[in-house]
Amino acid sequence: MFGAVNALGEALVCQALHRGVKTQQRRREGPAAALLWQKPRSAAQQRHSVTAILSKMAGADGDDSLYPIAVLIDELRNEDVQLRLNSIKKLSTIALALGVERTRTELLPFLTDTIYDEDEVLLALAEQLGNFTMLVGGPEYVHCLLPPLESLATVEETVVRDKAVESLRKISQEHSPVDLEVHFEPLVKRLASGDWFTSRTSACGLFSVCYPRVSSTVKAEIRQHFRTLCSDDTPMVRRAAASKLGEFAKVLELDYVKSDIISLFTALASDEQDSVRLLAVEACVSIATLLPQEDLETLVMPTLRQAAEDKSWRVRYMVADKFSELQKAVGPEITKNDLVPAFQNLLKDCEAEVRAAAANKVKEFCENLPEDSREQIIMTHILPCVKELVSDTNQHVKSALASVIMGLSTILGKDNTIEHLLPLFLAQLKDECPEVRLNIISNLDCVNEVIGIRQLSQSLLPAIVELAEDAKWRVRLAIIEYMPLLAGQLGVEFFDEKLNTLCMAWLIDHVYAIREAATCNLMKLVEKFGAEWAQNTIVPKVLGMANDPNYLHRMTTLFCINALSEACGQDITTKQMLPVVLKMSNDQVANVRFNVAKSLQKIGPVLDSNALQTEVKPVLEKLATDTDMDVKYFAQEAISVLALA
Amino acid sequence: METTKLPPSSPSSPTTSFSVPSAEKVDGFPRRSMRRARQRRSHSSSQFRYQSSQVELTPLPLLKDAPVAELHDLFCKKLQQCCVLFDFLDCVADLKGKEIKRAALNELVESVATSRGVLIEPLYPEAIKMISVNIFRTLPPSENPEFDPEEDEPTLEASWPHLQLVYEFFLRFLESPDFQPSMAKRYVDQKFVLQLLELFDSEDPREREYLKTILHRVYGKLLGLRAYIRKQINNIFLRFIYETEHFNGVAELLEILGSIINGFALPLKAEHKQFLVRVLIPLHTAKSLSIFHAQLAYCVVQFMEKDATVTEYIIRGLLKYWPKTCTQKEVMFLGEIEEILDVIEPSQFIRVQEPLFKQIAACISSPHFQVAERALYFWNNEYILSLIEENCQVILPLVFATLYRVSKEHWNQTIVSLIYNVLKTFMEMNSKLFDDLTASYKVEKQKEMKRERERADLWRGLEEHQDRRMQMLTEAARNQRNLQERGERGDPTTPSSPQTAHSDQPEPKPSGASSSSSGAGESAT
């Protein structure tokens, strides 16, 4: 047996050799083009070309572990990207078989060499290498993974670069402090001083992972490099640095946060490009969290105030979007004095985008206000702005507000809600934009807790009816999804009186998605109101549709039965539903007939064995001889699933 | 020395280039027209946020009536008057003020365009200030987040009645025979240019048209800013390619670059080559390529015409980024390849013919007939045909199998007949080679199938081998554990899993034991 394996092995090696030589020629013909103007590889790197691997392999003939690398070479050279991709994805298997030493000495240098490939292959490679530590021999050798990842971190394509950085961050944790200084940190430095922006961008993500575990001299160097990148010539690098500023601040000693980070933060926050400034806002959250309260006013607040009034709406948007985090980071005093007016301004901003972002934060902001002055601040400062937003010209602003406004009722309590908020809810329930109304309806539970839903029910009903008949089916779909919730809050009486008709009407909607959702809705209602309720109100109507001239409606009956049988229980299913289903097996339309088969399969488990044997079985057997092949198929399927054969 | 050509078109009457107002177009979809109506209503208002209390404008005397001694003073006053901004969202607000400013701007435009000796040094800062105040603003968020420049109507700038005149004034100012670059450069500085470039993201095509001409003039007249402008355009493009994929003015910037490339000195600087390879070629990956492809292809061809040695980089770059799923883009790529082949030097052609014709063969076998058709049209191009003929020995074997197969299989009759023509051409070119290939087609095909089978066998064999190995290793590991449990040292084989690899059997450090993998590699050889 082993002889055969060895023979195969030799054949493989020969083939790989052959191909390898050819591909080498191919690469020699156009190396410049393949690499475009990438920096030339060092002599040391080049020594690890295919030749080295091949000569090794030729010497070690007969060794089992040679197959994988032979295949790898072969497949990596394949013209089909998909095949190359496949072999990269099997890289760990191959490394495992090669053993740790040969992975380090042959596979990795080889991979480092092939880095000019298509981005898709490179992405897979970058990802694989992040999980390679054990395959190269554990933390002791993890630095062997750095050369290929370093090259990948300089690639043009963002996804590849980001993945390489992610992998580098991951393996940085597996470096010993010494290795971190000897191998990892020099890599970061090389990237940080690379001449093309891609490598400098990648470097930004690596400072914070090595900083905590290196000596103070190296720390100083790292800080210096980060400083340089924050004032880089290209906005791409400054953006990358700004986005990592918060993360870097977190690993720095407090003194350096004050001396280094604050000046960088201030500089980035007043960058000439708004895309950089807005990233500084994000960093602001982390920085403010790190500093003691007494330093915030002088070190952070001037910049934050400036950002909240930035001339670019993108920066103001970012402030609005991060408002709750900022609020927590700066604490209650500054919130009262500074953030309340700033928030008011954002709610009144001239750009709808900013107002919508701020409107989204209304509830969270109010919730997090210091308790002693919460109500007063809301009533005198926030509520007036909220009132204006209810009649905003932009529907996104209104719908953002509608999605959170109900939450204010729990904060303000019953009396304030009735007096101040209720009129706003009612106004939004009548809004011209369906999304606004939907958002109000979907959050009714908050109000229900505070004032009870009855206060709203008079306005609620017209709003629901209108949404239920909206011309856009997605709106109808959305309201159907809230029906079970509404039914629970409004109670069975109100439901029967006002909403039941709507729920039945959806069953004959001309859009399938609505009919399907309506079916599902019925099931949830039955779960809520019980089988008896179902028997009296829903089941007769559903079964009545079985005689409808439109076959789509007849099928809806079947779909409803599928959904309801379990919730209704054996009795109703056997006595009321089953006869209807069985009768429908004679339908003229094949679609109905095969749905009968599917329904029988579905409700079978609910029936007792007697009904199955005497009633279901003959019908399915008849359907199994139907002229239509789909009917036959589903009938047979039902027979086998129900074990009636 | 670099020189610049005049830009292809000058927007002397930009309103004519922007034709029918959208509302007058017939639109079958009521929803869209509704959306548009909404867009109309809500334009940018960022501009007015920081406007301090509105100043009441009073009409000044006409420039043409002013005595020469007071002319400059009056000109300056008018410039200052034009720094007041008006709210155009509210179309009835302050109509009087708007009219006064409009009239003043008109006068300024006319004066700068026609009279001599108006532009004296003290006016430069005032003029640039007036321009800056009016045009520099944060562009508003797009009304339509999924704005598709090909499908949707752009949001038009509400304050265009004034803005247009300001742009017109700026343009006349730059084009005036009295214009002194040495004075202007103090005010038209890097910061100014950067803000100007950001405006190219405007959704309003009329504005971008003006910006294009203006930037071109600035590039032409203020030599000190050239490198900076090129660098910032690079940054905009790189951001567009790798970060946002959104920038409305790519086509306009490329148009300017088209004429700049034309003026590059030879031999090309490294900076310019880098721009070609790292910016222009990757621009082909953009989703919205169709909007600026014509301008991009023009730039690429300009580069080739400047310096033929970049041909190989261009073709290999295009092949690297060849669209994999978007047939519409594939057709564009093929169009660009044809433009390139039209001017390619035969010596360069030989360097790229192999990968190129492999791709062309792949396109011919595309099930999308437009892609196949576009590729087959290459054979209607006489120059390309002559290149193919010269290199028939190389090219025919590359495409023959595809042509032969597709001629039998393609669903579209036009493609089939086009392929017959191509085959006929080849037959006439080199009948001997053609006959040989026809004769060996079946054999080759069988060989290919055999290779496929062998590959499959190979993998199967490997996987079996892998399984066996794993089994053996698991067993070995188990034995080893057993041995250890009995307190003996077992002979370690390669363990079954990476975890055990580390814990059970520490690898001896390779002799050269050093840090980098290169060191380890040397010790291995």
Asked if A64 has any chain B CB less than 8 Å from its own CB, the reply is: yes
Higher-confidence position of A206 and B456: A206
Q: A454-463, B368-377, B388-397, B421-430: lowest mean pLDDT where?
A: A454-463
Percent of chain B with pLDDT over 90: 41
**Residue A166: pLDDT band with limits 50, 70, 90:** very high
Pick B458's closest partner by Cβ from A12, A44, A112.
Answer: A12
Asked if B515 has any chain A CB less than 8 Å from its own CB, the reply is: yes
A585 φ, ψ (degrees, to nearest 5): -65, -10
**Is B242 in Cβ contact with A156 (below 8 Å)?**
yes
Asked if A56 has any chain B CB less than 8 Å from its own CB, the reply is: yes
**Residue A33: pLDDT band with limits 50, 70, 90:** very low
The pLDDT, as a whole number, for residue B469 is 67
For residues A325-334, average pLDDT: 88
Phi-psi region of A331 (alpha: psi -120 to 50; beta: other; left: phi over 0): left
3-state secondary structure A409-429: HHHHHHHHHHHHHHHHHHHHH
**Is B243 in Cβ contact with A239 (below 8 Å)?**
yes
Higher-confidence position of B115 and B234: B234
Q: Tell whether the model's pLDDT for residue B150 goes beyond 80.
A: no
Find residues 262-321 of chain B whose CB sits inside 8 Å of chain A.
273-274, 277-278, 282, 312-313, 316-317, 320
Angle, CA of B313, B319 and B322, to the nearest 5°: 140
The pLDDT, as a whole number, for residue B123 is 87
Q: Kindly state the DSSP code that residue A147 receives in the 8-state scheme.
A: H
Which residue carries 């109703």 as its tokens? A572
Torsion over CA: A170, A175, A180, A184 (sign): negative
Inter-CA distances, B174 with B77, B185, B310, Å: 20, 12, 35
**Residue A75: pLDDT band with limits 50, 70, 90:** low
How many angstroms separate the CA atoms of A645 and B23, rounded?
68
Q: Tell whether the model's pLDDT for residue A101 goes beyond 50.
A: yes
Asked if A10 has any chain B CB less than 8 Å from its own CB, the reply is: no
pLDDT in tens, A467-501: 888 888 888 888 888 888 888 878 888 888 878 88
Q: Tell whether the model's pLDDT for residue A61 goes beyond 80.
A: no
How many angstroms separate the CA atoms of A194 and B373, rounded?
45
The pLDDT, as a whole number, for residue B225 is 93
The pLDDT, as a whole number, for residue A569 is 85
Q: A322-331, B114-123, B320-329: lowest mean pLDDT where?
A: B114-123
For residues B103-126, average pLDDT: 86
Whether this model's ipTM surpasses 0.90 comes out as: no
**Is A157 in Cβ contact with B242 (below 8 Å)?**
yes
**Is A37 in Cβ contact with B277 (below 8 Å)?**
yes
B482 φ, ψ (degrees, to nearest 5): -60, -45
The pLDDT, as a whole number, for residue B25 is 35
Both tokens of residue B521? 């590699």
Residue to substitute from A6, A73, A79, A136, interface B, most B β-carbons within 10 A: A136
Asked if A96 has any chain B CB less than 8 Å from its own CB, the reply is: yes
Asked if A101 has any chain B CB less than 8 Å from its own CB, the reply is: yes
Contact B360, B422 (CB under 8 A): no
Asked if A351 has any chain B CB less than 8 Å from its own CB, the reply is: yes
The pLDDT, as a whole number, for residue A35 is 33
For residues A168-174, average pLDDT: 91
Inter-CA distances, B274 with A232, A567, B292, Å: 19, 69, 20
**Residue A165: pLDDT band with limits 50, 70, 90:** very high
Asked if A598 has any chain B CB less than 8 Å from its own CB, the reply is: no
- pTM across the whole model: 0.75
Which residue in chain B is spatially nearest to A107 when comparing CA positions?
B521
Contact B109, B172 (CB under 8 A): yes
How many angstroms separate the CA atoms of A581 and B204, rounded?
62
Residues of chain B with Cβ-Cβ distance to A197 below 8 Å are 238
Asked if A422 has any chain B CB less than 8 Å from its own CB, the reply is: no
**Residue B165: pLDDT band with limits 50, 70, 90:** very high
Percent of chain A with pLDDT over 70: 87
The pLDDT, as a whole number, for residue A4 is 37
The pLDDT, as a whole number, for residue B448 is 84
Asked if B53 has any chain A CB less than 8 Å from its own CB, the reply is: no
Asked if B471 has any chain A CB less than 8 Å from its own CB, the reply is: no
How many angstroms separate the CA atoms of A80 and A608, rounded?
58
Tell me the nearest-neighbour CA distance from B492 into chain A, angstroms.
13
B177 φ, ψ (degrees, to nearest 5): -65, -20
Contacts (Cβ under 8 Å, ≥6 apart) of A377: A336, A340, A366, A369
Q: A18-27, A404-413, B449-458: lowest mean pLDDT where?
A: A18-27
Question: Alpha helices, DSSP H only, in A469-613?
Answer: 473-494, 500-506, 512-529, 531-533, 539-544, 551-572, 578-584, 590-603, 609-611
Tell me the nearest-neighbour CA distance from B224 into chain A, angstroms.
18
The pLDDT, as a whole number, for residue A30 is 32
Residue pairs spanning A and B at CB distance below 8 A = 149
Tell me the nearest-neighbour CA distance from B375 into chain A, angstroms.
21
The pLDDT, as a whole number, for residue A94 is 75
The pLDDT, as a whole number, for residue A68 is 56
Q: A42-46, A76-80, A258-262, B231-235: lowest mean pLDDT where?
A: A42-46
The pLDDT, as a whole number, for residue A323 is 92
**Residue B522: pLDDT band with limits 50, 70, 90:** very low
The pLDDT, as a whole number, for residue B49 is 47
Residues of chain B with Cβ-Cβ distance to A392 below 8 Å are none
The pLDDT, as a whole number, for residue A16 is 36
Contact A344, A352 (CB under 8 A): no
pLDDT in tens, B167-210: 999 999 999 888 889 888 899 999 999 999 999 999 899 999 99
Percent of chain B with pLDDT over 70: 80
Which residue in chain B is spatially nearest to A131 when comparing CA positions?
B498
The pLDDT, as a whole number, for residue B12 is 40
**Is A312 in Cβ contact with B138 (below 8 Å)?**
yes
The pLDDT, as a whole number, for residue B384 is 93
**Is A105 in Cβ contact with B462 (below 8 Å)?**
no
The pLDDT, as a whole number, for residue A558 is 92
How many angstroms separate the CA atoms of A321 and A302, rounded?
19
**Is B50 in Cβ contact with A105 (below 8 Å)?**
no
Q: Tell whether the model's pLDDT for residue A154 goes beyond 50.
A: yes
Which residue in chain B is spatially nearest to A235 when comparing CA positions?
B235
**Residue B410: pLDDT band with limits 50, 70, 90:** confident
Q: A145-149, A168-172, A495-499, B41-45: lowest mean pLDDT where?
A: B41-45
Find residues 212-251 of chain B whose CB sits inside 8 Å of chain A.
235, 238-239, 242-243
Asked if B421 has any chain A CB less than 8 Å from its own CB, the reply is: no
Q: Tell whether the model's pLDDT for residue B14 goes beyond 60.
A: no
Contact B193, B229 (CB under 8 A): yes
How many angstroms separate the CA atoms of B201 and B214, rounded?
15
**Is A147 in Cβ contact with B517 (below 8 Å)?**
yes
Q: Tell whether the model's pLDDT for residue B164 goes beyond 50.
A: yes
**Residue B329: pLDDT band with limits 50, 70, 90:** very high
Which residue in chain A is spatially nearest to B523 when comparing CA positions?
A105
Tell me the nearest-neighbour CA distance from B463 into chain A, angstroms.
10
pLDDT in tens, A330-351: 888 888 888 999 999 999 988 8
**Residue A95: pLDDT band with limits 50, 70, 90:** confident
Q: Tell whether the model's pLDDT for residue B490 goes beyond 80.
A: no
Taking alpha carbons only, the member of B306, B378, B373 closest to residue B339 is: B378
The pLDDT, as a whole number, for residue A346 is 92
The pLDDT, as a whole number, for residue A342 is 92
Asked if A14 has any chain B CB less than 8 Å from its own CB, the reply is: no
Inter-CA distances, B374 with B338, B344, B380, Å: 9, 19, 10
A344: exposed, middle or buried (C-beta count within 10 Å: 0-12, 13-18, 19+)?
A: middle
How many angstroms separate the CA atoms of A447 and A464, rounded?
17
Q: Tell whether the model's pLDDT for residue A418 goes beyond 80.
A: yes
Q: Tell whether the model's pLDDT for residue B395 goes beyond 60.
A: yes
Torsion over CA: A398, A399, A400, A401 (sign): positive
Both tokens of residue A343? 């928030």
